[in-house]
């Protein structure tokens, strides 16, 4: 299935080929007829979702299945899910960069794109959830810093700004390539030449961009961790059973990286196939990411066990009824679908040598993503439906408005991705090239940084 990099070919040819391939999506007519149909379909779903939101704005959240008992539902689930996916970029491009995992080079751009797009979609879900989105600016005008929502605004805001910068910096040399290669019409040329910041690739510029990317890689990691920590604290700072947990911060961070890696694998597989990038994104990349996904999957399983075992042993009143609803009651189908299809099956698939093929790795990644959406659903909804007073259980039946807006969130994610890939190269050309240069140099003097050695232990021998 995979095609290894033609290591025997001279660098010039290899580079030509890479340039050609990575520019392919940017060329006129690159989408083809099927691509255009897909874009049209995605756009239709997004427009339908926007219409649903307009309907909701007009009639209020009464058009949703939300109520005074279950006052958070699909939108919050989507929010946590997309913010989780956004951890893809940070992991691959920052952590692997810091640990000198050379194999990361062809997939960093995709990962960073996922981060930015997922953050925007995720933040959008919160706005959709607001009863008064017209007062969004009040969060800045009248900030009440004691509220975890403010921590989220600050943290996610910083993360969006940082991720944009982190996506943009390594893009500059590639934009210069597009500028110099006269790709696209007048408008695009203008865009490329403005954004390329007079990049000419001199030694001083290379040194500076290397430093800037290095600094951003260090800065973005704690920001990313803070983001999912404070997202979890929206739940963790309340007194509700199921949310009132001390491990929610790390639990959510691990879950975010888990679903983020799965997100990368899925996006990588799609792009590899659609844009014929088999030469650069190889089975090796899937296998290495599969190892990471396996590690994170095991970690997540461990956290899940810790979370439920410690409350399940003591069986306090509220916790007990929540647990029985999750494990054997009304939410059991969702919980066990997550636990088995979203966690156990992927872990087995990723662990068995026989199923460590691209096909099965991608299958596992898709299952993880579906499972993690469900997991967020069973985190948000049952704790809300649980009676805090002598009530019956609350009920939540999402309406067409919530389904439409959720579908639009996913379609919008794909659409922005396609449009982005139409304008910018999906593989970081210069970084891959730099990797080849380093590789060649290394074959004369093999020096391994300690961090790289750590990465090797974690994910296997690079190339």
Partner 1 sequence: MIGKSDPDAVLRDAQQADAEDVGRRVFLRNAFIAAGAATFGSKTVAFADDLMRGSDEPADDVPQWAMVIDMARCDGCRVCTKACQEAHFTGDQEWIKVFEVTDEAGNIVFLPRPCMQCENAPCLNVCPVGATYRNDNGTILVDHDRCIGCRFCIAACPYGARYFNWGEPENPPGAALARYSPEFPVPHRKGTVDKCMFCAHNAMNGKLPVCASSCPMSAIWFGDLKADIATNGLETVQLSWLLGNRNAFRLKEELGTRPRVWYLPGHGEHSKVVLPE
CB of 86 to partner 1, least distance (A): 21
Whose Cβ is closer to partner 1: residue 67's or residue 205's? 67
Among 32, 60, 181, 214, binds partner 1 (CB under 8 A): 60
Whose Cβ is closer to partner 1: residue 6's or residue 218's? 218
CB of 385 to partner 1, least distance (A): 12
Distance of CA 153 to the CA centre of its chain: 18
CB of 315 to partner 1, least distance (A): 11
> Rule CB under 8 A: which of 147-176 touch partner 1?
147-150, 153
Find out whether 427 and 18 touch, Cβ atoms under 8 Å: yes
Whose Cβ is closer to partner 1: residue 113's or residue 160's? 160
Place of tokens 């296998």: 287
Q: How far is CA 353 from CA 103, 185, 347, 356, 357, in A?
A: 20, 48, 12, 5, 8
Place of tokens 């985190």: 379
Among 38, 237, 301, 345, binds partner 1 (CB under 8 A): 237
Q: What is the DSSP letter of 64?
A: S
Q: Taken in order 248, 253, 255, 259, is the CA torsion positive or negative?
A: positive
Find out whether 200 and 176 touch, Cβ atoms under 8 Å: yes
Find out whether 282 and 274 touch, Cβ atoms under 8 Å: no
CB of 349 to partner 1, least distance (A): 36
Whose Cβ is closer to partner 1: residue 378's or residue 421's? 378
Residues in the interface with partner 1 (CB under 8 A) total 50
Q: Does 62 bind partner 1 (CB under 8 A)?
A: yes
DSSP assignment of 166-234, as one string? HHHTTHHHHHHHHHHTT-S-HHHHHHHHHHTTT----HHHHHHHHHHHHHHHHHHHHHHHHHHHHHHHH
∠ CA 389-393-394 to the nearest 5 degrees? Answer: 95
Whose Cβ is closer to partner 1: residue 141's or residue 457's? 141
Whose Cβ is closer to partner 1: residue 142's or residue 444's? 142
Q: Does 145 bind partner 1 (CB under 8 A)?
A: yes
Q: Does 222 bind partner 1 (CB under 8 A)?
A: no
CB of 159 to partner 1, least distance (A): 18
> Rule CB under 8 A: which of 323-382 touch partner 1?
none
Q: Does 447 bind partner 1 (CB under 8 A)?
A: no
Mark 283-322 with x for binding to partner 1 (rule: CB under 8 A) and - for no binding: ---------------------------------xxxx-x-
Q: Which residues of 59-97 are buried (b: 16+ CB within 10 A; e: fewer)?
A: eebebbbbbebbebbbbbbbbbbbbbbbbbbbbbbbbbb
Decide: helix, strand or coil at residue 269: helix
Among 2, 15, 39, 67, binds partner 1 (CB under 8 A): 67
Q: Does 72 bind partner 1 (CB under 8 A)?
A: yes
Among 41, 54, 208, 388, binds partner 1 (CB under 8 A): 388
Mark 112-131 with x for binding to partner 1 (rule: CB under 8 A) and - for no binding: --------------x--xxx
Q: What is the DSSP letter of 91?
A: I
**Counting Cβ atoms within 10 Å, is residue 17 exposed (0-12), middle (13-18) or buried (19+)?**
middle
CB of 71 to partner 1, least distance (A): 4
Distance of CA 143 to the CA centre of its chain: 28
Q: Taken in order 267, 270, 273, 276, is the CA torsion positive or negative?
A: negative
CB of 241 to partner 1, least distance (A): 6
Whose Cβ is closer to partner 1: residue 150's or residue 419's? 150
The binding site for partner 1 (CB under 8 A) comprises 59-64, 66-69, 71-72, 126, 129-132, 135-136, 138-139, 141-150, 153, 234, 237-241, 316-319, 321, 384, 386-391
């Amino acid at each position: 299935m995979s095609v290894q990099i033609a290591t025997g070919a001279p660098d010039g040819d290899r580079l030509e080929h890479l340039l050609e391939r990575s520019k392919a999506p940017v060329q006129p007519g690159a989408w083809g007829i099927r691509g255009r149909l897909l874009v049209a379909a995605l756009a239709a779903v997004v427009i339908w979702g926007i219409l649903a939101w307009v309907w909701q704005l007009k009639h209020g959240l009464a058009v949703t299945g939300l109520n005074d008992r279950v006052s958070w539902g699909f939108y919050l689930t989507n929010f946590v899910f997309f913010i989780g996916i956004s951890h893809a970029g940070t992991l691959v491009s920052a952590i692997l960069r810091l640990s000198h995992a050379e194999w990361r080079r062809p997939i960093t751009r995709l990962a960073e794109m996922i981060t930015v797009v997922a953050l925007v979609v995720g933040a959008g879900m919160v706005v959709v959830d607001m009863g008064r989105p017209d007062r969004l600016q009040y969060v800045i005008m009248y900030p009440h810093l004691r509220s975890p929502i403010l921590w989220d605004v600050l943290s996610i805001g910083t993360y969006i700004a940082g991720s944009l910068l982190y996506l943009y910096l390594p893009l500059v040399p590639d934009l210069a390539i597009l500028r110099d290669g006269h790709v696209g019409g007048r408008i695009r040329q203008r865009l490329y030449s403005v954004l390329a910041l007079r990049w000419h690739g001199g030694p001083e510029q290379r040194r500076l961009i290397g430093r800037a990317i290095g600094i951003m890689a260090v800065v973005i990691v704690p920001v990313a961790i803070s983001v999912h920590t404070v997202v979890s604290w929206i739940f963790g700072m309340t007194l509700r059973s199921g949310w009132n947990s001390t491990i929610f911060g790390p639990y959510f961070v691990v879950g975010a990286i888990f679903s983020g890696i799965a997100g990368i694998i899925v996006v990588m597989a799609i792009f590899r196939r659609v844009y014929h990038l088999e030469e650069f994104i190889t089975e090796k990349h899937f296998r290495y990411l599969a190892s990471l996904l396996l590690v994170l999957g095991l970690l997540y399983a461990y956290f899940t066990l810790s979370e439920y075992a410690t409350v399940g042993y003591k069986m306090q009143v509220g916790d007990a009824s929540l647990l029985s609803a999750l494990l054997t009651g009304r939410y059991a189908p969702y919980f066990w679908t997550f636990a088995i299809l979203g966690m156990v099956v992927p872990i087995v698939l990723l662990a068995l040598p026989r199923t460590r093929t691209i096909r099965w790795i991608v299958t596992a990644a898709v299952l993880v993503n579906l499972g993690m959406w469900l997991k967020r659903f069973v985190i948000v909804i049952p704790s809300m439906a649980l009676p805090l007073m002598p009530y019956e259980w609350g009920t939540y039946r999402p309406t067409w408005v919530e389904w439409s807006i959720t579908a639009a969130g996913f379609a919008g994610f794909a659409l922005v991705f396609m449009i982005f890939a139409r304008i910018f190269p999906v593989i970081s050309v210069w970084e891959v090239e730099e990797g080849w240069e380093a590789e060649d140099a290394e074959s004369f003097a093999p020096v391994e940084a300690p961090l790289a050695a750590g990465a090797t232990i974690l994910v296997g021998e690079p190339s």
